[in-house]
Amino acid sequence: MKNNENHTLVTFTVTEDNQNIRIDKYLTNVCQNMENFTLSRSYIQSLVKEGAVCANNKIVKSNYKVVKDDEITIAIPQPKTLEIEPEDIPLDILYEDDDIIVINKGKGMVVHPAAGHYSGTIVNALMHHCKDNLSGINGVLRPGIVHRIDMNTTGVIVVCKNDKAHTSIAEQLKVHSITRKYEAIVYNSFSMMEGKVEGPIGRHPIDRKKMCINHKNGKDATTHYKVLENLGTKYAHVVCTLETGRTHQIRVHMASISHPLVGDDVYGPSKDKFKLEGQALHARVLGFIHPTTNEYVEFEAPLPAYFVDLLEKLRR
């Protein structure tokens, strides 16, 4: 390994047991065995797109398959100084140890900094609470963040304090082995008390801020739902269990079967008589294999006050 001014250059020689696989998968495999850092597959894919990966001194594209004795070089940018400021923001911590911190996220709070939200995020709060003890895999704007929920969705998320924990939980997310149960209040009562929605989710072809069921460019997505309570004929309280975790998955899937979430002005009615701050959706349960103990752990975030109040109103 040698450094230039702006990058760390890392070189590997492809062995027989790793040949004939895509370059991103190959680098993900070999980088997992390195002691100094870990790179996620999505980050490696971005480096490939940027022309930062070479095979035998020639830049390769993402569909390149490695061959035995290929000399693969990856130019990894030097870490940037994080410009996001730590902020003393209270966190509702459900659990914490040396590897992970499990948080009950409040409504209206953004998980990580992005355009228009560079302060007041969970990351700002974590940087104050955890100091430097956050994984670095997802870059300078998302330290520790292995998954996220929407700004107006409440409930449980897990944050990783080191790269080992991050890699472990990211792999569980990838193979859909994590338990994720959400509670929602939706429009319209149900005659079938449980069911499954399947439909690939991708970017909306016209409105790029929205997701939709997109059979051409979407990724497979499956949501299981169970009705906890029909609230008259106009509303229902449901629990949704995710097999996959696509952007806006529950919101898109439930709207696709004529049960949009109450308060969701993107996929449901534009006007909400309850004047909610976004969709009535709560990440209730999160369960996974702990990255160090290798035991299954499960965490639950109680329903927030606004959700309970709305249920009481709809029961009257």
Taking Cα atoms as reference points, which of 187, 149, 164 lies closest to residue 283? 149
Taking Cα atoms as reference points, which of 254, 213, 220 lies closest to residue 237? 254
3-class SS at 47? helix
User: Torsion-angle region of residue 68: left (phi > 0), alpha (psi -120 to 50) or beta?
Assistant: beta
Which residues are known to be catalytic? 150
Residue ranges with strand state E in the chain: 2-3, 7-13, 53-55, 58-59, 71-77, 93-96, 100-105, 154-160, 179-187, 194-198, 201-203, 211-213, 222-231, 235-242, 281-289, 296-300
